[in-house]
Amino acid sequence: MKSLADLVRQTEFTREEIAFLLGRRETNEVELLRQAAEALCFAWVGNTVHFRGLVEFSNICVCDCHYCGIRKSNPAITRFFLTLDEVMQAAHWCAEQGYGSLVLQSGERRDEAFIDFVETAVRRIRAETRTAQQPDGLGITLCVGEQTRETYARFKAAGAHRYLLRIESTSPHLFRQLHPAGQSFEQRVQCLQWLRETGFQVGTGVMIGFPGQTLENLADDVLFFRSLDVDMIGMGPYLVHKQTPMAAQEKEMAARHGEVYQLALNMIAVTRLVLKNVNIAATTALQAMKATGREEGLTYGANVIMPQLTPTEFRKDYQLYEGKPCLDENRDQCKMCLQRRITGAGRVIGFHEWGDSRHARDRTENTAPSGEGGSPSKP
């Protein structure tokens, strides 16, 4: 077996090597992995952290995913839908801060009223957030689930250019365990292909550490990200929500807290080692496990953070999992707190730019010197 120091310096990895790296737990071993991932992050995508203001505009959902707190059969939350004015207020605030991009996320709906709302919001945000520093307006990422190819094309034509759709798990068996019968792994993959065909920069990701998932499953997830040639990754630890069927495994998950947290960090690092020039988010779920989780995610090779812009009064009803941080804070408090944390971690914030991934730019501009997605920038 190769030494860990040799392994993390490789450029190609087998499934077994990926699973081995993901399973490292000893302090000195994870530090080797972390340093390698951070160095690769700086070399390929730089020191800059990109912000995407996150607007969770509705928790109304037609899906019933077994893990998710806003699943349609949870009666214990108040359902909400922001008005277009409330979305625009959040967008204006985002532009004024120089955050550059925004994510519109919600529970899943496929009816015309919903599609029309998203389309209108996208059009208005692009048109009304133009500034001298950003003449094209805010960049817009959508995260509104499985839709038809036609709907994706409408969203793209309206002016959104990035789309996040997590595969949740690339094991069809585990996917079936996580979802009710009406949802299929194949349909999710089909949607990801449609997103690419309709011209979106595509992001996907998985939940990390849920019961029954092995290191080999996660290694397959990383290889799936690579085979799909994705531009962005958003993934985080699985966290129990009490009003879901999976709450039955709450005790088991509580006992695995430290292990799952480290596994989530290792997933970021290994994804950076394997995919190199993509954008990787340090997600809020990491912070739910540990106060400094998102900053730590950055030190393991992530380069994107999604500050909460959802109006405070609605945040308590948009808890996909328990322990979601910052429920009582407003966006100004979140801003100050985040900026301090990021600059404290020695990183620079990329204001007034869309911050597309290097991978997406290399693919669209076709400037890859090696023909394989480019090479590291000069440090």
At residue 325's C-alpha, the angle toward residues 208 and 160, to 5°, is: 70
Backbone angles phi, psi at 188, to 5 degrees: -60, -45
If binding is defined by CB under 6 A, does position 239 make contact with ligand 5AD? yes
If binding is defined by CB under 6 A, does position 241 make contact with ligand 5AD? yes
Interface of this chain with ligand 5AD, residues 164 to 223, rule: CB under 6 A: 166, 168, 207
Paired with 26 in beta bridges are none
C-alpha 51 chain-centroid distance: 12
Q: Max Cα separation, the chain?
A: 59
Position among 44, 224, 238, 318 found at the interface with ligand 5AD (CB under 6 A): 238
Distinct helix (H) and strand (E) counts, the chain: 16, 10
DSSP string for 129-184: ---SS-TT--EEEEE-----HHHHHHHHHHT--EEE---B-S-HHHHHHHS-TT--
Q: Which stretch binds ligand 5AD (CB under 6 A): 26-34, 84-92, 231-239, 265-273?
A: 231-239
DSSP string for 200-218: -EEEE-BEES-TT--HHHH
If binding is defined by CB under 6 A, does position 264 make contact with ligand 5AD? no
* Shortest Å distance, C-beta 318 to ligand 5AD: 10
* Shortest Å distance, C-beta 167 to ligand 5AD: 9
Alpha-carbon distance 89 to 33, whole Å?
Answer: 42
* Minimum CB distance to ligand 5AD smaller for 47 or for 214: 214
* Shortest Å distance, C-beta 165 to ligand 5AD: 8
* Shortest Å distance, C-beta 365 to ligand 5AD: 30
* Minimum CB distance to ligand 5AD smaller for 48 or for 249: 249
* Shortest Å distance, C-beta 296 to ligand 5AD: 17
* Minimum CB distance to ligand 5AD smaller for 239 or for 281: 239
Site string for ligand 5AD, 1-20 (x = CB under 6 A): --------------------
Nearest-Å Rg of the Cα atoms of the chain is 19
Alpha-carbon distance 346 to 64, whole Å?
Answer: 41
Q: Looking at the chain, how many residues does it have?
A: 379
Backbone angles phi, psi at 315, to 5 degrees: -65, -35
Cα distance from N-terminal residue to C-terminal residue, the chain: 31
* Minimum CB distance to ligand 5AD smaller for 59 or for 201: 59
Position among 174, 274, 285, 309 found at the interface with ligand 5AD (CB under 6 A): 285
* Shortest Å distance, C-beta 235 to ligand 5AD: 7
Enumerate residues 6+ apart whose C-beta is below 8 A from 219. Answer: 15, 16, 18, 19, 22
Q: Which stretch binds ligand 5AD (CB under 6 A): 25-33, 237-245, 340-348, 364-372?
A: 237-245
* Shortest Å distance, C-beta 241 to ligand 5AD: 5
If binding is defined by CB under 6 A, does position 61 make contact with ligand 5AD? no
* Minimum CB distance to ligand 5AD smaller for 56 or for 362: 56
Enumerate residues 6+ apart whose C-beta is below 8 A from 251. Answer: none
* Shortest Å distance, C-beta 306 to ligand 5AD: 11
Site string for ligand 5AD, 65-84 (x = CB under 6 A): --xx----------------
Exposed, middle or buried, 161 (CB in 10 Å: 0-12/13-18/19+)?
buried
* Minimum CB distance to ligand 5AD smaller for 36 or for 320: 320
Q: Which stretch binds ligand 5AD (CB under 6 A): 32-40, 49-57, 235-243, 357-365?
A: 235-243
3-state secondary structure of 72: coil
* Minimum CB distance to ligand 5AD smaller for 59 or for 151: 59
> By rule CB under 6 A, what count of residues binds ligand 5AD?
12
Residues of this chain that bind ligand 5AD (CB under 6 A):
67-68, 166, 168, 207, 236, 238-239, 241, 285, 320-321
